[in-house]
Amino acid sequence: MSFSQQPIKTGTDFDCLVIGAGFSGMYMLHLLREAGFSTRVIEKGDGVGGAWYWSRYPGARCDSESVYYNYTFSEELYNEWTWSSRFPEQPEILRYLNFAADRLDLRRDIQFNTEVRAAHFDEDENIWRLHLSDGTSVTATYFISGVGCLSINATNIPNFKGLEQFEGDWYHTGAWPHHKVNFRGKRVGVIGTGSSGVQTIPVIAQEAEHLTVFQRTPQYSVPANNHPLEEEFIQYVKNHLPEIRGKMRESLGGLPFAPFERSALDDTPEERRKVYEEAWEKGGSALFFTYPDLLTNEESNTTASEFIRSKIKEIVKDPETAEKLMPTYYYGTKRAIMDTNYFETYNRDNVSLVDVKKAPIAEITAKGVRTEDREYELDVLVFATGYDGMTGPLLKMDIRGRDGETLKQKWENGAHVRTYLGLTTAGFPNMFMITGPESPSVLGNVPVAIEQHVEWTADCLKHMRETGMDTIEATQEAEEEWSRKCREMAEATLYTKTESWYTGANIEGKPRGFLMYLGGYGPYRELCDEIAEKGYEGFALASGSNTVV
Ligand code: NAP
């Protein structure tokens, strides 16, 4: 192996600059170095891990099964790590990513404690110049974003009046402090009941004197049914990794299971109940992956929605609270959530639920939260209010392509985000977005999507080097066609009927549009490979003044 090579192009500091040292940036660095590209990763934190470095809130854990939620590109690496449980907690996942960074010797090419403020494409030189928070700038031929779909620079703290006057401590789940936050004897408020809220509420409730949950939209959630992993199962997966990896890569959602081939409506109500009961017992994503038409057929969806509502009614003892917790949107059209004792937590005497759809939060006061009908006094306030997802992490940086056009101008002035394959965008040559908007990204077991994007990008750069090309850029036509396809796919589902961060609806003023590709991981992979095999169809490749489309 040769590391820390010289850049190929004279006048640049590196061949490749990568932002972020999470799952994406780490693997990107590894592959690029292996391929002989000089590469530097710029990372805001003082350690690797990305979202798993920042999201240290109590109860944070993965909701993909651990044995599938890791790098699978190397059997050697895979076999050296053993997970403790089905859905491990954040500290274990962070330890895993640190293990991978050590094992692949990544740290020496990562610049920690540094933020990328701006990335500008210099058209005369065909290079990217990144302006960093330490006042320096660096240049490279290729600029690769590994900032992910939900990143620290895009946490969403709603614009509540008066937050600055709050006398207690407040935190955002996605930017949690490194020290333990003490809730003992405290009156705590949690705003938000998405994946983060649902995970943290039961844990905080065990310690706080009183917990008040401010809920705007009630959620469907199913039990995670977390448990320690049996040695025999771990060994089985290790011994069969190539086969299991193959299934994960071909699947729609990055997991080695296939959904049923029948509609929910093909089963009788009794058969369906049995299917849902078994999935509920199994826990995790089992229910979400039962009938394939849950997200396309309203009637099918209603069967699953009603089943979960019936479970909430069974679990929550106080009928008034149970009623407040009843979700009404189409199940699965907001991120499907799994929990450990979420609904049970509302049976505790020290937990109360406030419906802020009925009486919205009017302001944060010195003493707590005031809704339109009363004030709740709090010592600690937790924002589990999510992120400006998909586009936010990119748009928080000043990214400029050809003619000085900013990515913000391009995406906000258009009626919607436009990308080609969710990997590139016209007018921004030699820029790649790992799990970018309009890629399948978060709609599944993300490390599988990450590995595919990273491998495709590394192969593309090797092709550029081998063919002596200087720039690669999506064509306007290919991008329009891709974005149209993404929109059409989304319109054919129930996803667009729900307000969620998937559609940008959670951020005031954000242009609406479904932000992912819904064709599934496996078909998407095939498509990307075909495009590469056809000489990067839909891209313009140029060398000097020669352009090949
Ligand atoms: P989220 O799903 O966007 O949930 C945010 C919550 O805050 C929602 O309940 C939302 O209500 C509420 N909210 C936002 N603004 C509000 C306001 N002004 N007033 C009152 N309530 C407000 O965010 P998240 O829970 O952090 O999850 C984001 C994504 O991160 C997940 O979908 C998932 O992809 C990922 N994640 C994964 C895991 C895991 O793997 N286990 C864990 C955590 C997060 P509305 O629904 O009404 O908008």
Q: How far apart are alpha carbons 367 and 385 in whole angstroms?
A: 20
For ligand 1, atom 28: residue with the closest CA: 386
Give the distance (Å) from ligand 1 centre to CA of residue 173. 10
pLDDT at 143: 98
Give the distance (Å) from ligand 1 centre to CA of residue 171. 14
Q: Which atom of ligand 1 is nearest to the CA of 150?
A: 30
Residue 229 Ramachandran class (φ > 0 left, ψ -120 to 50 alpha, else beta): beta
Q: Which atom of ligand 1 is nearest to the CA of 87?
A: 41
For ligand 1, atom 12: residue with the closest CA: 192
Residues whose CB is less than 8 angstroms from the CB of residue 264 and which lie 6 or more positions away in sequence, other chains included: 272, 290, 291, 293, 294, 297, 299, 300, 301, 303, 304
In the structure, which protein residues have their CB atom closer than 6 angstroms to any atom of ligand 1? 61-63, 150, 158, 173, 191-197, 199, 214, 216-217, 335, 356, 361, 384-387, 442, 501, 506
CA distances in angstroms from 495 to 223, 294, 386, 443, 523, listed in the order given: 23, 11, 18, 12, 20
Give the distance (Å) from ligand 1 centre to CA of residue 107. 32
Domains, in order of start, for the chain: 14-154+389-471+517-535 (3.50.50.60), 163-383 (no CATH)
Q: Looking at residue 343, what DSSP letter applies?
A: H
For ligand 1, atom 24: residue with the closest CA: 386
β-pairing, 187-191 vs 110-111, is: unpaired
Six-digit token pair at 219? 């959620």
pLDDT at 242: 97
Q: What is the pLDDT of residues 223-265, one digit of tens each?
A: 999 999 999 999 999 999 999 999 999 999 999 988 889 999 9
Q: What is the pTM of this model?
A: 0.96
Q: How far apart are alpha carbons 538 and 531 in whole angstroms?
A: 8
- Reported as type and span, the H/E element at residue 480 is helix 476-491
Give the distance (Å) from ligand 1 centre to CA of residue 134. 32
- Reported as type and span, the H/E element at residue 39 is strand 39-42
Q: Which atom of ligand 1 is nearest to the CA of 383?
A: 7
Six-digit token pair at 77? 């690496």
Phi–psi pair at 274, nearest 5 degrees: -65, -45
For ligand 1, atom 18: residue with the closest CA: 158
Six-digit token pair at 468? 């002596």
Helix (H, G, I), strand (E, B) or coil at 375: strand
Each of the 549 residues of the chain gets a pLDDT tens digit; together they read: 344 568 877 789 999 999 999 999 999 999 999 999 999 999 999 999 999 999 999 999 999 999 999 999 999 999 999 999 999 999 999 999 999 999 999 999 999 999 999 999 999 999 999 999 999 999 999 999 999 999 999 999 999 999 999 999 999 999 999 999 999 999 999 999 999 999 999 999 999 999 999 999 999 999 999 999 999 999 999 999 999 999 999 999 999 988 889 999 999 999 999 999 999 999 999 999 999 999 999 999 999 999 999 999 999 999 999 999 999 999 999 999 999 999 999 999 999 999 999 999 999 999 999 999 999 999 999 999 999 999 999 999 999 999 999 999 999 866 689 999 999 999 999 999 999 999 999 999 999 999 999 999 999 999 999 999 999 999 999 999 999 999 999 999 999 999 999 999 999 989 889 999 999 999 999 999 999 999 999 999 999 767 776
The residue ranges of DSSP E strands in 410-506, in sequence order, are: 431-433, 471-474
For ligand 1, atom 33: residue with the closest CA: 195
Six-digit token pair at 49? 């891990």
Give the distance (Å) from ligand 1 centre to CA of residue 216. 11
Give the distance (Å) from ligand 1 centre to CA of residue 398. 26
Helix (H, G, I), strand (E, B) or coil at 99: helix
pLDDT at 168: 98
Q: Which atom of ligand 1 is nearest to the CA of 191?
A: 21
Nearest alpha-carbon partner for 121 in 408, 411, 395, 431: 431
pLDDT at 1: 37
Give the distance (Å) from ligand 1 centre to CA of residue 4. 40
Q: How far apart are alpha carbons 400 and 413 in whole angstroms?
A: 14
CA distances in angstroms from 546 to 115, 126, 542, listed in the order given: 35, 14, 5
Give the distance (Å) from ligand 1 centre to CA of residue 500. 9
Q: Looking at residue 334, what DSSP letter applies?
A: S
Give the distance (Å) from ligand 1 centre to CA of residue 525. 28
